[in-house]
Chains A and B, each alone.
Chain A
């Protein structure tokens, strides 16, 4: 069994000083993510979910507590952790192919070519290798960004609202694609989102965070078989369960009528 990509977050806190006041962005977060799991972090804006993700990838430094990947405390970015940002952040002056190749280091040109071709194939962008980002739709750009994040075969892929800027139908389509890629690559994925349905569709566990201070409110397991059916009763139940955490559920005074 693959044991790579186990992430332990232990007593992680982070605060900024803003005008003599300490603002607690993250307050004592504890969470263990098992190898190969798909985790979603859901929460309102400002709950620190993106900050937590940026700490995991290593773009922010200085925090209390420990973030441990496979037994090693994390400090700064590393090629074993990939990230997909909300804005695709492809370099507009490079073709898809060259953008995807950006992440690769220490490989011969031939290997590089193969890896790039494999990953462009994986995300379904075959035929667009020579296209520039401005020639791609939002969904296609995000696919290229996913390919770029995966070329180093990271143990963990972090996704910061990766589908937030896409239209609803493209997003649903990308859910399927993301699930397929997750299954094929067998890696741990952690996604920040505020789309509850997206979280239920994709995750093994949903982590609900509350704001001010950023705390871990609840971890909700999603014990549904894949591929998941958005229209099923079970799906709706889990979704309702998550929404309850935000006081957004509907009160059912009558369970049946007659």
Chain B
């Protein structure tokens, strides 16, 4: 049996690499190994962070991005869930829709930007752009979840004469749920990446991506760095939250593996 590590030592382990990177960053920037305009030091970034905090731009833009990503995520994952369920439950629908879906899925997300810009140049196009990216993992994982429902459970449904609705509510819906949550987690992290891309390609109405691009335009690399770090940290926390949700709601699947 493996010994369980204490939380403190685990957090310690996870901090080693960031600290090392921070030290290297500090040394490289203070020794002026790279031009200061290109690579600001940690101190410069902190100053810039305080500056954007004080004039309110940081939280203004972050808030816009978070709300925007939630909109895109909700629309995209709801549509993805519906499509995944339809494809999973019906072989006919799978034959009809799956090839088109798989072809469309090959188009890289940024390639949708020109089309979105043509449609509208604002919030709507950005949200749609995010929801395209958000939908794929939910479609695929919902489909997988439905298709991997054990035939043994369906025999139980047969024996108890479940009708289609009862079979769906009692078996397909709960059995696929853990897999759907995995899809939602991946979808959340893609959405967060997509919001930054959307704000760069279709900049309008603010957002952390637009703030970063704006920093680049006026050669303020320190602001760019503030944005990069913020994007990384927020994305990390979102995925972490989703992972907790996933574990909570699929307790029966996770523990089943251990006990059987």
User: Are A79 and B155 in contact (CB-based, < 8 A)?
Assistant: no
**Contact status of A93 and B160, CB under 8 A, knowing A134-B255, A134-B256:** no
A85 to B253: give the CA distance in the assembly, Å.
21
Is A128's beta carbon under 8 Å from chain B?
no
**Contact status of A134 and B155, CB under 8 A, knowing A91-B171, A105-B161:** no
Is A87's beta carbon under 8 Å from chain B?
yes
User: Are A87 and B174 in contact (CB-based, < 8 A)?
Assistant: no
Q: Which residue of chain B has the shortest Cβ distance to A138 in the bound complex?
A: B260
In chain A, residues 67-95, which have Cβ atoms closer than 8 Å to a Cβ of chain B? 77-79, 82-83, 85, 87, 89, 91-94
A103 to B256: give the CA distance in the assembly, Å.
23
User: What is the interface size of chain A, counting residues whose CB is below 8 A from a CB of the partner?
Assistant: 21
Is A57's beta carbon under 8 Å from chain B?
yes
User: Are A93 and B155 in contact (CB-based, < 8 A)?
Assistant: no
A89 to B175: give the CA distance in the assembly, Å.
13
**Contact status of A85 and B252, CB under 8 A, knowing A77-B159, A77-B161:** no
Is B51's beta carbon under 8 Å from chain A?
no
Chain A contact residues, CB within 8 Å of chain B: 57-59, 77-79, 82-83, 85, 87, 89, 91-94, 102-103, 105, 132-134
- Taking the closest CB of chain B, its distance from the CB of A135, in whole angstroms, is 8
Q: Which residue of chain B has the shortest Cβ distance to A92 in the bound complex?
A: B252
User: Are B160 and A102 in contact (CB-based, < 8 A)?
Assistant: yes
Q: Which residue of chain B has the shortest Cβ distance to A136 in the bound complex?
A: B259
- Taking the closest CB of chain B, its distance from the CB of A152, in whole angstroms, is 8
Is B32's beta carbon under 8 Å from chain A?
no
Q: Which residue of chain A has the shortest Cβ distance to B158 in the bound complex?
A: A77
Chain A residues near B253: list those with CB within 8 A. 92
Q: Tally of A-B residue pairs with Cβ under 8 A? A: 51
A59 to B170: give the CA distance in the assembly, Å.
19
Chain B contact residues, CB within 8 Å of chain A: 152-153, 155-156, 158-161, 170-171, 174-175, 177, 251-253, 255-256, 259-260
Chain A residues near B170: list those with CB within 8 A. 91, 102
User: Are A78 and B161 in contact (CB-based, < 8 A)?
Assistant: yes
User: Are A93 and B159 in contact (CB-based, < 8 A)?
Assistant: no
A28 to B14: give the CA distance in the assembly, Å.
69
- Taking the closest CB of chain A, its distance from the CB of B54, in whole angstroms, is 51
Chain B residues near A134: list those with CB within 8 A. 252, 255-256, 259-260
**Contact status of A79 and B259, CB under 8 A, knowing A59-B155, A93-B174, A102-B170:** no
A89 to B160: give the CA distance in the assembly, Å.
13
**Contact status of A89 and B252, CB under 8 A, knowing A77-B158, A134-B259:** no
A90 to B177: give the CA distance in the assembly, Å.
17
Chain B residues near A87: list those with CB within 8 A. 152
User: Are B256 and A57 in contact (CB-based, < 8 A)?
Assistant: no
- Taking the closest CB of chain B, its distance from the CB of A56, in whole angstroms, is 12
Chain A residues near B171: list those with CB within 8 A. 91
- Taking the closest CB of chain B, its distance from the CB of A132, in whole angstroms, is 6
User: Are A132 and B160 in contact (CB-based, < 8 A)?
Assistant: no
- Taking the closest CB of chain B, its distance from the CB of A154, in whole angstroms, is 10
A89 to B177: give the CA distance in the assembly, Å.
18
Which among A89, A133, A134 has the greatest number of chain B C-beta atoms within 10 A? A134
User: Are B152 and A89 in contact (CB-based, < 8 A)?
Assistant: yes
**Which one of B152, B156, B175 contacts A93 once the chains associate, using CB atoms below 8 Å?**
B175
Chain A residues near B159: list those with CB within 8 A. 57-59, 77, 82-83
**Which one of B156, B251, B255 contacts A89 once the chains associate, using CB atoms below 8 Å?**
B156
User: Are B158 and A91 in contact (CB-based, < 8 A)?
Assistant: no
Chain B residues near A103: list those with CB within 8 A. 160
A102 to B169: give the CA distance in the assembly, Å.
12
A103 to B157: give the CA distance in the assembly, Å.
9
Chain B residues near A132: list those with CB within 8 A. 251-252
What would 17 more interface pairs be, CB under 8 Å, given A91-B174, A102-B170? A59-B155, A77-B161, A79-B160, A85-B155, A89-B153, A89-B156, A91-B153, A92-B253, A93-B252, A94-B174, A102-B156, A103-B160, A105-B161, A132-B252, A133-B252, A133-B256, A134-B256
